[in-house]
């Protein structure tokens, strides 16, 4: 059985064969749909079902049941059960196409016991190398790659990263820890659709766990000293006080963002911690009764993002004003 899929924005159509996902069918027929992970985790390929129905072999972790109930689907996992009309519209600012470069290590230093700061110089002619919030792939000799979000505002050449050491992680616990200034690394960028949506001008709630802070920092740095910057509330969830590797620097951002509030939230705080405790998403819920007037950016663990999405939608947030980037 084959189904006909029509893109609402362009009226172009393509055909999905039995068992084929919407994304597989689109790519096979040269239709561009945003996508990244292709296993249902990142949410980048989210589409709106205008007409028709889809099914999943397994319900994807990057979609909440509430989103599905509102007519959204993940194209990389959704298989048509009928002809479809879909909308894939989500305005993204212009940016360079991904390209390969050879980067030079400019600096490596520890930020915390398990987080490295890595600065790479990337020679590039492109005027805009990446959008704040996007990520780079570091290409490894065995053909695999590791992805890291840029942690600084778009800059023509020097890019900052926060590399969290993963136990048993060959790159993060091995190669990255041995990098020296002057070393060269093949890279590919930019990737990712997580970025600031200036057209969605509302007070910002930004929620990060761990090094999910990196793309949020990149976005906020791109808004610094901009008098049109909306009010920003940044919630950063970590386990212990020692994990808050940019705590002092973030507090200084208040001088460069129009209306900035910083709320660190610790899940395993010691007795001396006077700040917020618990899950970071719960701190947002404790502070804001109605989320319908906010643009919300979530970056960090899939568990936090799934919980936050469910709870925030129930608190009035709009799916169309909720942007997320999920990684482990």
Mark the segment that binds ligand FES (CB under 6 A) among 42-50, 170-178, 182-190, 224-232.
Answer: 42-50
Secondary structure, 3-state, the chain: CCEEEEECCCCCEEEECCCCCHHHHHHHCCCCCCCCCCCCCCCCCEEEEEECCEECCCCCCCCCHHHHHCCEEECCCCEECCCEEEECCCCCCCCCCCEEEEEEEEEEEEEECCEEEEEEECCCCCCCCCCCCCEEEEECCCCCEEEEECCCCCCCCEEEEEEECCCCCHHHHHHHHHCCCCCEEEEEEEECCCCCCCCCCCCEEEEEEHHHHHHHHHHHHHHCCCCCCCCEEEEEEECCHHHCCCHHHHHHHHHCCCCEEEEEEECCCCCCCCCEECCHHHHHHHHCCCCCCCEEEEEECHHHHHHHHHHHHHCCCCHHHEEEEECC
Examine residue 191 and tell whether it contacts ligand FES (CB under 6 A): no
Of 7, 22, 26, 74, the one binding ligand FES by CB under 6 A: 74
Q: How far is the CB of 246 from ligand FES (least distance, A)?
A: 28
Of 5, 22, 26, 44, the one binding ligand FES by CB under 6 A: 44
Cα distances (Å, whole numbers) of residue 118 to 131, 170, 326: 19, 16, 21
- Nearer Cβ to ligand FES (76/151): 76
Dist. CA 288–CA 46, nearest whole Å? 27
Of 47, 49, 62, 119, the one binding ligand FES by CB under 6 A: 62
Of 45, 116, 138, 216, the one binding ligand FES by CB under 6 A: 45
- Nearer Cβ to ligand FES (4/38): 38
Mark the segment that binds ligand FES (CB under 6 A) among 5-13, 43-51, 197-205, 258-266.
Answer: 43-51
Q: How far is the CB of 230 from ligand FES (least distance, A)?
A: 28
Give the closest residue to 316 by CA, choosing from 299, 283, 294: 294
- The size of the interface with ligand FES (CB under 6 A), counted in residues, is 13
Of 41, 154, 212, 300, the one binding ligand FES by CB under 6 A: 41
Cα distances (Å, whole numbers) of residue 162 to 125, 137, 295: 25, 14, 25
- Nearer Cβ to ligand FES (45/250): 45
- Nearer Cβ to ligand FES (74/159): 74
Mark the segment that binds ligand FES (CB under 6 A) among 38-46, 93-101, 119-127, 215-223.
Answer: 38-46
Of 8, 15, 27, 37, the one binding ligand FES by CB under 6 A: 37
Examine residue 192 and tell whether it contacts ligand FES (CB under 6 A): no
Examine residue 40 and tell whether it contacts ligand FES (CB under 6 A): yes
Q: Tell me which residue has tokens 């609402």.
A: 8
Mark the segment that binds ligand FES (CB under 6 A) among 1-9, 34-42, 208-216, 306-314.
Answer: 34-42
Mark the segment that binds ligand FES (CB under 6 A) among 30-38, 173-181, 204-212, 305-313.
Answer: 30-38
Dist. CA 34–CA 44, nearest whole Å? 6
Examine residue 68 and tell whether it contacts ligand FES (CB under 6 A): no
Q: How far is the CB of 33 from ligand FES (least distance, A)?
A: 9
Examine residue 76 and tell whether it contacts ligand FES (CB under 6 A): yes
Interaction site with ligand FES (CB under 6 A): 35-38, 40-45, 62, 74, 76
């Amino acid at each position: 059985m084959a189904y006909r899929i029509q893109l609402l924005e362009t009226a172009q159509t393509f055909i999905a064969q039995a068992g084929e996902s919407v994304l597989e069918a689109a790519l096979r027929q040269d239709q561009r749909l945003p996508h990244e992970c292709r296993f249902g985790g990142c949410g980048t390929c989210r589409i709106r079902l205008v007409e028709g129905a889809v099914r999943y072999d397994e319900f994807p972790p990057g979609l909440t049941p509430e989103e599905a109930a509102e007519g959204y689907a993940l194209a990389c996992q959704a298989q048509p059960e009928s002809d479809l009309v879909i909308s894939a519209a989500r305005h993204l600012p212009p940016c360079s196409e991904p390209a390969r470069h050879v980067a030079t290590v400019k600096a490596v230093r520890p930020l915390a016991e398990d987080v490295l700061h890595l600065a790479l110089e990337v020679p590039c002619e492109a005027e805009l190398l990446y959008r704040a919030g996007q990520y780079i792939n570091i290409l490894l000799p065995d053909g695999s790659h590791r992805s890291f979000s840029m942690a600084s505002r778009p800059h023509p050449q020097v890019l900052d990263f926060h590399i969290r050491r993963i136990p048993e992680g060959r790159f993060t616990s091995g190669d990255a820890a041995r990098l020296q200034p002057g070393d060269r690394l093949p890279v590919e960028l930019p990737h990712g659709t997580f970025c600031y949506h200036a057209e969605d001008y509302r007070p910002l709630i930004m929620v990060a766990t761990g090094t999910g802070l990196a793309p949020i920092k990149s976005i906020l740095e791109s808004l610094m000293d901009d008098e049109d910057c909306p009010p920003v509330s940044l919630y950063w969830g970590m386990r212990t006080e020692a994990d808050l590797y940019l705590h002092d620097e973030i507090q200084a951002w208040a001088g460069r963002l129009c209306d900035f509030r910083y709320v660190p939230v610790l899940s395993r705080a010691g007795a001396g911690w006077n700040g917020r405790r618990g899950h970071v998403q719960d701190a947002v819920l404790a502070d804001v009764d109605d989320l319908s007037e906010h643009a919300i950016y979530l970056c960090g663990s899939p568990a936090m993002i799934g919980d936050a999405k469910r709870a925030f939608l129930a608190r009035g947030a709009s799916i169309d004003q909720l942007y997320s980037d999920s990684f482990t």
